[in-house]
Amino acid sequence: MNLDRVSPDLRPIAEDIARRFGNRIDAWDTPRPNEVYVHASMDLAAGFCAHLHRRWNVRLIAVFADDFRNEGGVFHLYYALAADAAHGFVFLRAPVSPDTPQFTSLANAIPALNWQEREVQDMFGLKLVGHPNPRRCALHDDWPEVYPLRKDFGLHTVLPPFQGERHKFRQVEGEGVFQVPVGPVHAGIIEPGHFLFSVAGEPVLYLQLRMFYVHKGAEKLFEHLPPPHAVRLAESISGDSSFAHATAFCHAIERAANVEAPPRARGIRSVCLELERIYNHVADIGAICTDVAFVTAHMHAMRLKEAVLCACEELTGSRLLRGMACLGGVRFDWDAGQIALLRALTARLRPEFDSLVELIDGSSSTRDRLETTGILQPKVARDLGVVGIAGRASGFDHDLRRDFPHAAYDQVKISVPVYQAGDVKHRLQVRVDEVRESFSIVEQLAARLPAGPVRSEIGELPAGRVALGYVEGWRGEIFHWIRTAPGNRLARCKIKDPSLQNWPALSEAILGNIVPDFPVVNKSFNLSYSGTDR
């Protein structure tokens, strides 16, 4: 392997892989300095991932498949690993024969892969071997035997009316134990999700989740859109993370094209990502207060959120920052008046936000409801691969803005709040700390936004390239992995929203709590149904 192209930080890991597994590796590829691909047989996966974790503290962030039968006669299974300390990514790519479409599960050793492996099985028909719960996940039980992400499944395929048994939840038995179903249709505007509580009195003994009621087939749709049009599709993956998902997608396309957005565009992107973080965190702080009946704090939070949304509209034309991201940069530049608006916004909101936090901290009844409620132990969080807000409240000291600087985050100082308690109070505290940090980041960027263009030309994408785009969204890390096809199209777009990773943690955090505390525990995670369903 030629290591000249590998980044200096990632090179020791690549050299170690070559020494330990060299005779079992079929090929190497380094499309970018911080992105290394190792091509080997499936039987290497368990030992490969285990070694990198033990030796280098590398974490497995995703498992996904790609239908490569038209080009190479096989499916490809990818194991994506993040080397946070080395600021790089390692991919193990293993072929799966269509004649024996199966792969060995790693979920017993890495519980974080549970849903991801089952999604591969559902969407590609690659049977799981040794999985602790190989039932359907992304597709529900009454779906016919189809595999939507295979190339021979047409986008406009009309399926027959679904018939069959509904999902059978596991029964929990015992004296005084009964089950409480909540959903999938809720008394509000949220999307559907089924929560089945097994309780003895009010304490929760067990919580079962059923998601994927409104799967949108976004990954299939990406294959049928030219990349410039696909930016709008990326915006729709999760409405409250429109800009983050669009930027992650643009980042992937730009890396595949070997094009970098101009410095001014990267600065504007970072500001928009922080504005998205601020308005969502502030809204969640207010919503958590609502769930413990502190409505006054909620109203104060909504007032601050509205100020941020109005500023977003002034800066981009959209309250949710839609239409701002584009391939190669951003669509609109900012003039001196708009930059002054940013400075005025943070100057006005900072003391008002501090006043809101003081109001919440001064409420003993609120503290009583939040402290020691919904605890997610750090070890459980690590096992489940929990990321973002929930992860940092349970000891996960990672943030892509710091560990994999994207956009203009290499130009600012970032402090990542990390706690060990893992309760609702500390998930709220992470939000508080991050809002204050976002104020600082916006001020740093607004003070020295470089001059110049806001967009680079991408041109037509060469076929056969792979690339990973990434963004630290307000919920956590967002990944878009692409493989390009002839004709300036995409052969595959894999989307990883943090919610897919974090939903199983809710079942752990609610154990031992009472049913009336579920709304506030759920809100402290605030996961996206749409981001999960994609």
pLDDT digits (tens, 9 = 90+) for 165-199: 777 788 877 878 888 888 888 877 778 889 999 98
* Span between the terminal Cα atoms of the chain, in Å: 37
Q: What is the mean pLDDT of the chain?
A: 93
pLDDT at 4 over 80: no
pLDDT per residue as tens digits for the range 487-503: 999 999 999 999 999 99
Instruction: Give ∠ CA 28-34-37 in degrees, rounded to 5.
Output: 25
Final residue in a domain of this structure, among 189, 210, 231:
210
Assess whether 480 and 528 both reside in one domain. Answer: yes
Is 281 within the bounds of a domain?
A: yes
pLDDT per residue as tens digits for the range 343-393: 999 999 999 999 999 999 999 999 999 999 999 999 999 999 999 999 999
Is 347 within the bounds of a domain?
A: yes
Assess whether 193 and 63 both reside in one domain. Answer: no
| Residue 334 DSSP one-character state | -
For 472, phi and psi rounded to 5 degrees?
-85, 95
Q: Can you tell me the distance from the alpha carbon of 498 to that of 238, in angstroms, rounded to the nearest whole number?
A: 11
Best CA proximity match to 521, nearest among 425, 388, 393, 418: 425
Mean pLDDT of the region 224-241: 94
- The pLDDT value given to residue 393: 97
Q: Can you tell me the distance from the alpha carbon of 432 to that of 356, in angstroms, rounded to the nearest whole number?
A: 10
Assess whether 257 and 204 both reside in one domain. Answer: no
Residue 40 belongs to domain with CATH number: 3.30.460.80
For 379, phi and psi rounded to 5 degrees?
-65, -40
Domain that holds residue 205: 177-210
Assess whether 414 and 301 both reside in one domain. Answer: yes
Final residue in a domain of this structure, among 210, 232, 254:
210
pLDDT at 243 over 90: yes
Residue 265 belongs to domain with CATH number: 1.10.645.10
The domain tally of the chain equals 3
What tokens were used for 261?
């957005």
Is 155 within the bounds of a domain?
A: no
| Residue 26 DSSP one-character state | E
pLDDT at 129 over 80: yes
Assess whether 377 and 443 both reside in one domain. Answer: yes
Assess whether 199 and 270 both reside in one domain. Answer: no
Is 403 within the bounds of a domain?
A: yes
Assess whether 191 and 96 both reside in one domain. Answer: no
Is 88 within the bounds of a domain?
A: yes
- The pLDDT value given to residue 2: 65
pLDDT per residue as tens digits for the range 417-442: 999 999 999 999 999 999 999 999 99
DSSP letter string, 337-389: HHHHHHHHHHHHHHHHHHHHHHHHHT-HHHHHHHTTSS---HHHHHHHT--HH
Is 420 within the bounds of a domain?
A: yes
Assess whether 204 and 223 both reside in one domain. Answer: no
Is 5 within the bounds of a domain?
A: no
Assess whether 294 and 193 both reside in one domain. Answer: no
Secondary structure, 3-state, 46-88: HHHHHHHHHHHCCEEEEEEEEEEHHHHCEEEEEEEEEECCCCE
Final residue in a domain of this structure, among 97, 129, 161:
129
79, β-bridge pairs: 63, 92
- The pLDDT value given to residue 312: 96
CA 163 distance to own-chain centroid? 33
Best CA proximity match to 157, nearest among 220, 71, 75: 220
Assess whether 373 and 312 both reside in one domain. Answer: yes
Is 437 within the bounds of a domain?
A: yes
Assess whether 360 and 398 both reside in one domain. Answer: yes
Q: Among 182-196, 266-280, 509-523, which stretch is predicted with the lowest mean pLDDT?
A: 182-196
Q: Can you tell me the distance from the alpha carbon of 84 to that of 342, in angstroms, rounded to the nearest whole number?
A: 32
Q: Can you tell me the distance from the alpha carbon of 360 to that of 375, in angstroms, rounded to the nearest whole number?
A: 20
Assess whether 186 and 250 both reside in one domain. Answer: no
- The pLDDT value given to residue 83: 95
